[in-house]
A and B are shown apart, each in its own frame.
Chain A
Amino acid sequence: MIEKKQVEHVAELAKLSFSDAELDHFTSQLDEIMKMVDQLDEVDTTGVEPTTHVGDLVNVFRKDEAKPGTPRKELMENVPEEQDGLIKVPAIIDEGEDE
């Protein structure tokens, strides 16, 4: 059984905020989804290796060569707020100092 408090904690980890009504809604939906997931308890996985990828994964190396990067102008094209060619964000340290 998933509790509202857990959902609140997970929302914080996920950097999402919900209204109280939304929290209730998500709590009941996540609970229902986790009930479906609990079916997995029926499967005996003793000694089974987990699979996290299915490719023929090997280390891929490339030469460490200097190459021209993407021009700054292009990189800045999708930036929501900028000033003097820099990305602008609100004050990072301490709420007392902004504005």
Chain B
Amino acid sequence: MNYLNESLTSLHDKLVNHELTSKDLIQGTLANIHAQDGDIKAFLRTDDERALEKAAQVDKDGINPQDVLSGLPVAIKDNIVTKGLITTAASKILDNFKPIYDATVVQKLNDAKMITIGKTNLDEFAMGSSTETSAYQMTSNPWDHTKVPGGSSGGSAAAVAAGFVPAALGTDTGGSIRQPAAFNGIVGMKPTYGRVSRWGAIAFASSLDQIGTLTRGVYDNALLLNAISGLDTKDSTSSGNPVPDFTANLNGDIKGMKIAMPKEYLQEGVQPEVKAAILKAADTLRSLGATIDEVSLPHTQYAVPTYYIIASSEASSNLQRYDGIRYGYRAKDVKTLEDVYVKSRSEGFGDEVKRRIMLGTFSLSAGYYDAYFKKAAQVRTLIKQDFDDILKDHDLIMGPTTPTPAFGIGEKVSDPVTMYMNDILTISANLAGNPSASIPAGFVDGLPIGMQLIGKPFAENTIYRAGFAFEQATDFHKQTPNMEGDAAK
């Protein structure tokens, strides 16, 4: 069975009313993935046996109507560790790595009796914007199989868009949830830094990484974020800020909401059709009672270089742990300990990961630290101030999620700078730590595009309220790919 016309709530109702059992659901989910995913390649592996066991247990215990996620399937990006289920971060260096614990988010979904179906493909260590740097497979965009699904959470986004699962988890360091959500016509939320525990998320850039949620609709997204948010003693950067019910006040009413539209988000580089769709989305929000003001975020153009220095520096430090000693890939036929390190890393990491480790090591090295790392950290302060200033008297910032719809497989992968520029609209929210989501906002050449909403820290609920109202007033989220992978329908 597929979930193109289902939601977490509709499936929950069917379970409660005994129209379906969790076992039916999980069996149907796995059968559909096995039949269809050969074309998309969203999953790196499924966890059939354990998923079916858990479903049988849920059915045996009975579904409590309060437990809205109980017995429902979810997919997990493969850089989030799952106990006993191989987790690779799409890198050869973690081939065969079997975690001995669950990430906090996975534990929380287990507690909610959600059922992990499998692990989804990503760019190696989440470094990329197209899922093409995966060491294992190329994932296709369900709307057009010749296009990328975006990245790095491309597998999670494609799995939801293709109807394989009603929900998935991803991670977002510079746009890795929002950009693939936009490219796949679904909802993707990067919560506030600290809202969700990063314990068990394989670290890329620790001051930017956040785990978040991908679903077909806004309500489902809020429901899933409810389940994974909150303080965790295992992640000392997680926040004790109270977690509200994110599904509260999703009533379509946004009268008086003040939305800022930065002119920098609609400048050249943004495809005219994308700009037109976002201006139309602004009209829709206006017709719902919001006010839209044109504003300026003057440091927007510096977000990409700032990000690549900071993210790569943190990555070069985080990825030192892959040394071939305690886990992961170890090179064969090595004579010295130094060789174990150098050969294991050189054979285990792919090119994009090496490029970022090199860039980061360079930025942090003696003689370059002030010119690069410190400079980027200072510009980061200015980027954050831009947001703080605008959000002093606005509830949200809006713009496109990406400058263009999904690009072609192979089109940008050999040109790092062009690929990096694709993230220009999403990166600032990571640098500043603000919550931000992509909401389906139209189609260009038959491919979906997204509207990005950025909120004040810990105001995910404002984003959901606006996103829900927009969703009610439009039908973009009801469109589905035809699964022939031919967008021109």
- Given A17-B346, A77-B98, A57 and B237 touching (CB < 8 A)? yes
Q: How far is the CA of A11 from the CA of B379 in the complex (A)?
A: 27
B97 to chain A, nearest CB (A): 6
Given the complex, which residues of B lie within 8 Å of A66, measured CB to CB?
A: none
With both beta carbons as reference points, the residue of chain A lying nearest to B337 in the complex is identified as A92
B144 to chain A, nearest CB (A): 29
Interface hit among B176-184, B380-388, B467-475? B380-388
- Contact across chains for B416 and A29 when beta carbons are under 8 A apart: yes
Given the complex, which residues of A lie within 8 Å of B416, measured CB to CB?
A: 29, 32-33
Q: How far is the CA of A84 from the CA of B212 in the complex (A)?
A: 42
B294 to chain A, nearest CB (A): 23
A49 to chain B, nearest CB (A): 6
B333 to chain A, nearest CB (A): 10
Interface hit among B58-66, B276-284, B354-362, B479-487? B354-362
B253 to chain A, nearest CB (A): 31
Given the complex, which residues of A lie within 8 Å of B325, measured CB to CB?
A: 80, 87, 89
- Given A30-B355, A55-B194, A80 and B336 touching (CB < 8 A)? no
Q: How far is the CA of A56 from the CA of B309 in the complex (A)?
A: 23
- Contact across chains for A75 and B337 when beta carbons are under 8 A apart: no
- Contact across chains for B362 and A51 when beta carbons are under 8 A apart: no
- Contact across chains for A48 and B381 when beta carbons are under 8 A apart: yes
Given the complex, which residues of B lie within 8 Å of A98, measured CB to CB?
A: 335-336
- Contact across chains for A16 and B345 when beta carbons are under 8 A apart: yes
- Contact across chains for A37 and B372 when beta carbons are under 8 A apart: yes
- Contact across chains for A49 and B378 when beta carbons are under 8 A apart: yes
Q: How far is the CA of A57 from the CA of B437 in the complex (A)?
A: 24
Interface string of A29-72 (1 = CB under 8 A from B): 11011101111111101001111111111001010000000100
B123 to chain A, nearest CB (A): 17
- Contact across chains for A54 and B207 when beta carbons are under 8 A apart: yes
- Contact across chains for A90 and B337 when beta carbons are under 8 A apart: yes
Given the complex, which residues of B lie within 8 Å of A55, measured CB to CB?
A: 193-194, 237, 239, 433
Q: How far is the CA of A32 from the CA of B239 in the complex (A)?
A: 38
Q: How far is the CA of A43 from the CA of B328 in the complex (A)?
A: 42
- Contact across chains for B207 and A53 when beta carbons are under 8 A apart: yes
Given the complex, which residues of B lie within 8 Å of A53, measured CB to CB?
A: 207, 237
A53 to chain B, nearest CB (A): 5
A95 at the interface (CB under 8 A from B): yes
Q: How far is the CA of A91 from the CA of B466 in the complex (A)?
A: 62
B94 to chain A, nearest CB (A): 9
B304 at the interface (CB under 8 A from A): yes
- Contact across chains for A36 and B327 when beta carbons are under 8 A apart: no
Given the complex, which residues of A lie within 8 Å of B337, measured CB to CB?
A: 89-92
Number of interface residues of A (CB under 8 A): 55
Interface string of B303-320 (1 = CB under 8 A from A): 011101100000010001
Number of interface residues of B (CB under 8 A): 67
B271 at the interface (CB under 8 A from A): no
Given the complex, which residues of A lie within 8 Å of B57, measured CB to CB?
A: none
- Contact across chains for B342 and A90 when beta carbons are under 8 A apart: no
A21 at the interface (CB under 8 A from B): no
- Contact across chains for A70 and B100 when beta carbons are under 8 A apart: yes
Task: Name A80's contact: one of B302, B328, B343, B374 (CB within 8 Å).
Answer: B328
- Given A62-B233, A77-B100, A87-B326, A54 and B378 touching (CB < 8 A)? no
- Contact across chains for B378 and A80 when beta carbons are under 8 A apart: no
- Contact across chains for B381 and A51 when beta carbons are under 8 A apart: yes
- Contact across chains for B308 and A26 when beta carbons are under 8 A apart: no
Q: How far is the CA of A98 from the CA of B335 in the complex (A)?
A: 7
Q: How far is the CA of A51 from the CA of B375 in the complex (A)?
A: 10
Q: How far is the CA of A30 from the CA of B309 in the complex (A)?
A: 12
B443 at the interface (CB under 8 A from A): no
- Contact across chains for A89 and B98 when beta carbons are under 8 A apart: no
- Given A39-B305, A55-B193, A17 and B372 touching (CB < 8 A)? no
Task: Name B377's contact: one of A36, A51, A74 (CB within 8 Å).
Answer: A51
A1 at the interface (CB under 8 A from B): no
- Contact across chains for A36 and B326 when beta carbons are under 8 A apart: no
Given the complex, which residues of B lie within 8 Å of A95, measured CB to CB?
A: 335-336
A69 to chain B, nearest CB (A): 12
A83 at the interface (CB under 8 A from B): no
- Contact across chains for B354 and A16 when beta carbons are under 8 A apart: yes
A61 to chain B, nearest CB (A): 9
With both beta carbons as reference points, the residue of chain B lying nearest to A41 in the complex is identified as B375
Q: How far is the CA of A99 from the CA of B333 in the complex (A)?
A: 12
- Contact across chains for B378 and A50 when beta carbons are under 8 A apart: yes
7 A-B pairs within 8 Å (CB atoms) are namely A10-B358, A13-B361, A36-B305, A53-B207, A70-B100, A75-B100, A98-B336
Residues of A at the B interface (CB closer than 8 Å) are 2, 6-7, 9-11, 13-18, 26, 29-30, 32-34, 36-43, 45, 48-57, 60, 62, 70, 74-75, 77-81, 87, 89-92, 95, 98-99
Given contacts A37-B372, A57-B237, 12 further A-B contacts (CB under 8 A): A10-B361, A14-B316, A14-B358, A15-B341, A16-B346, A26-B355, A33-B355, A37-B305, A43-B378, A70-B100, A80-B328, A87-B326
